[in-house]
Amino acid sequence: MSNEKLHHLLAVDVGLHTGLALFSENAELLWYRSHHLSSPAKLKKVIGKLLREQPRPTHVLLEGGGPLAELWITEADKLSIETTQIHAQQWRNRLFYSRQHRSGSQAKREADGLARQVIEQLGGKKPTSLRHDTAEAILIGLFGLLELGWLVQWPIKKD
């Protein structure tokens, strides 16, 4: 099946410092990156481009709210892309033990480590450095894969 016929999940850590990760429905991490933008207007242009690039996302999972999340929702609605908003606590509670995210700095360290495991197991190019917004987008995507049933369990059990 070609990539264009698969469903795709775009995971977004919402902000002007935006972390992004794109996954296919067969739980493959296609790419991950971040954009650091100076204004909501520039973010709006990036959103329009990202939602129209091939492979096009069929689902967008946003962590965050407010006017910047509304930019994503409005643009996704124009393209009939399913959009879901979550809070950081939702994916952290599913992916970590509570002791792993007691403080913000601890949660960011744990996110980096787990994001590197996701990259290794789901096929992404290994990073030399990984910004926290990108690491969190990868984990938002992992949460989304599990919620959508595109990935049955984490960690993946080797036969």
Domain residue extents for the chain: 3-148
The two three-digit tokens of residue 101, written as one number:
């995210």
Query: What digits encode the pLDDT tens for the residues 70-118?
Result: 999 999 999 999 999 999 989 988 998 777 777 777 777 888 899 999 9
Query: What digits encode the pLDDT tens for the residues 41-57?
Result: 999 999 999 999 999 99
Give the CA distances from residue 20 to residues 13, 36, 50, 69, 142, in Å, rounded to whole numbers and listed in that order.
6, 11, 10, 13, 12
* DSSP code for 103: S
| Fold entry, domain 3-148 | Nucleotidyltransferase; domain 5 (3.30.420)
Partnered with residue 60 across adjacent β-strands are 10, 83
What's the rounded Cα separation, in Å, for the pair 98 and 100?
5
71 contacts 51 by C-beta, under 8 angstroms: no
The three-class DSSP label of residue 87 is coil
Phi and psi, residue 53, nearest 5°: -65, 150
Q: Of 27, 40, 79, whose CA–CA distance to 57 is shortest?
A: 79
Phi and psi, residue 66, nearest 5°: 80, -165
**Residue 159 banded pLDDT, cuts 50, 70, 90:** low
Alpha-carbon dihedral angle through residues 43, 61, 66, 94, given to the nearest 10 degrees: -130
Cis check: omega of the bond before 57, within 30 degrees of 0: no
pLDDT at 26 over 50: yes
148 contacts 110 by C-beta, under 8 angstroms: no
pTM reported for the whole predicted model: 0.92
What's the rounded Cα separation, in Å, for the pair 75 and 66?
15
